[in-house]
Amino acid sequence: MSSKQLIAVVCCQKQVAGYDVQSVNEFYLNAIRDFGGLPVLIPAGSDEADLDQLLATVDGVLLPGSHSNVAPEHYGADHEEPKQDPGRDQLALYVIRQCAVLGIPVLGICRGFQEMNVALGGTLHPQVHCKTNALDHREPNDPDFSVKYAVSHALEVIPGGNFANWLGETRSVSVNSLHGQGVETLAPALKIEAVAPDGLIEAFSLSNHPYFIGVQWHPEWFATELFMSKLLFSHFIQAAQALKELRNGKTANRRQGCEASQVT
């Protein structure tokens, strides 16, 4: 039996050459594999009973980025949003809420970060670059991925959080930036881990949870080489391993209890 941690990855629904497809960027799957996990895809369109069965078996969930955006109706807004993916919204928002309650490790990236905020009651700004004194956080219009994912700005790490604990005395890290939307109002249960120079929230966590972390940038790019990416993914997989061991321990205890009752 494989000892790898099973990491469920939320899929997007897209049309490719007229076909309806479920999709995940390979960067995310490679990052999971590189840190010792085994990615498994969760297709949009799964019903809640099936998702509950799946969540009872996986050790963590990754919410990848996407060029689509969370539908405004999910956070009480009514602006037009041409880049929607209703199937992904339905899937991701349910999975996030279940993971928050069940203590399943979750790492959300870009759209996943925004989904986590919305799922727990936060709101989004549809065009961050239009805000007063805001940076332009949008994806560079360049086909070269080394340009697209190049370092864009620094982050200020907030004292007292997971990042501060991981980084020690380091209080600033540099990240890429490929997003148009961002957090407007933070969900009440979440706490800020890091902010951009313009004050935009770039990372948050959920208190009293083994690992519930969202980041606005893309750590999956060169994940094994960039310091902050290594911290995010290694701690994520460690949390997944801890859940795996906890579940295995409970299963072993139940078996021993059954065997003892049979002998008696």
* Rounded-to-integer distance, Cα 249 and Cα 135, Å: 48
* Rounded-to-integer distance, Cα 81 and Cα 72, Å: 7
SS3 at position 31: helix
Active site residue 153: no
Catalytic residue among 179, 209, 218, 235: 218
Of 54, 56, 58, nearest in space to 32 by CA: 58
Largest Cα span, the chain: 73
Of 251, 188, 238, nearest in space to 210 by CA: 238
Catalytic residue among 115, 193, 202, 220: 220
Active site residue 220: yes
* Rounded-to-integer distance, Cα 240 and Cα 222, Å: 21
DSSP H stretches of helix in the chain: 26-34, 48-55, 86-102, 111-119, 145-148, 162-167, 227-263
List Cβ neighbours of 262 (8 Å cut-off, separation of 6 or more): none
* Rounded-to-integer distance, Cα 251 and Cα 103, Å: 17
Active site residue 218: yes
DSSP letter assigned to residue 159: T
Catalytic residue among 110, 125, 202, 235: 110
Active site residues: 110, 218, 220
